[in-house]
A and B are shown apart, each in its own frame.
Chain A
Amino acid sequence: TQLLEQSPQFLSIQEGENLTVYCNSSSVFSSLQWYRQEPGEGPVLLVTVVTGGEVKKLKRLTFQFGDARKDSSLHITAAQPGDTGLYLCAGFNAGNNRKLIWGLGTSLAVNP
């Protein structure tokens, strides 16, 4: 069974701090997606990483896919209250009946 473990599960920080959340697996994925979900809404896609070692930046967010395509990280620089939400990673393996494997998420609270 493929599993994606996200850490930390909860994170509460002050505005302006930096943070990193992790998404780890023992399985190899064809691609990995990161989503952010705000209360009362559905998840919204932030980025998809496909190539091992790939780094993508989205303003203050930096996403990295591990060289072996088994893990990924999300780094936020100078966090703002608007970054508050649940961050979810989802791994896709084309050989796994096309299902997305979801992590449980990291709940981030950025306090002003």
Chain B
Amino acid sequence: KAGVTQTPRYLIKTRGQQVTLSCSPISGHRSVSWYQQTPGQGLQFLFEYFSETQRNKGNFPGRFSGRQFSNSRSEMNVSTLELGDSALYLCASSLEGRGFNQPQHFGDGTRLSIL
């Protein structure tokens, strides 16, 4: 069973540019979450999509946005990049079910560096 696939793995951008990251969840998983991971702040939740709708949102500025397609694939976009956006961006998919105790299945992330 294929895991969560994130592309690209590495990306270098300059301040002011925008970027789009892609995530293909495990087949059958309808929930996709995005996280930003930095050494000082740890894993910070960006947003969660389910059935093409944003179901949850973290405390990030509006420069961070996302969407989910009918096949559950998801993209996140960051506009007007800042140096502080340099981080590992992780996508995780999970099954939807009662109790909401479903584990998160992570991709290997996109390492974004802002110059």
Contact = CB atoms under 8 A, between A and B. Distances in A.
Nearest to A33: B103
Contact of B42 (A33, A40, A98, A104): A104
Interface stretch (B12-20, B67-75, B76-84, B106-114): B106-114
A45 B93 CA distance: 12
A25 B99 CA distance: 21
Contacts of A88: 42-43
B30 to A, nearest CB: 14
A62 interface: no
Interface string B90-115: 10100000011101111111000000
B100 A48 contact: no
Contacts of A40: 108
Given A48-B101, A105-B42, 13 more contacts: A30-B101, A31-B101, A42-B4, A42-B108, A43-B43, A43-B90, A44-B106, A88-B43, A92-B100, A98-B100, A99-B48, A102-B45, A105-B43
Contacts of B51: none
Interface of B: 4, 41-45, 48, 55-56, 58, 90, 92, 99-101, 103-109
Given A88-B43, A97-B56, A103-B42, A42 B90 contact: yes
Given A42-B4, A42-B90, A94-B99, A100 B104 contact: yes
Contacts of B101: 30-31, 48, 50, 92
B3 to A, nearest CB: 9
B66 to A, nearest CB: 15
B100 A42 contact: no
A30 B100 CA distance: 9
A105 B107 CA distance: 18
B45 A48 contact: no
B6 to A, nearest CB: 8
10 contacts: A30-B100, A42-B106, A42-B108, A45-B105, A50-B101, A88-B43, A90-B43, A90-B104, A94-B99, A102-B42
B101 to A, nearest CB: 5
A50 B100 CA distance: 11
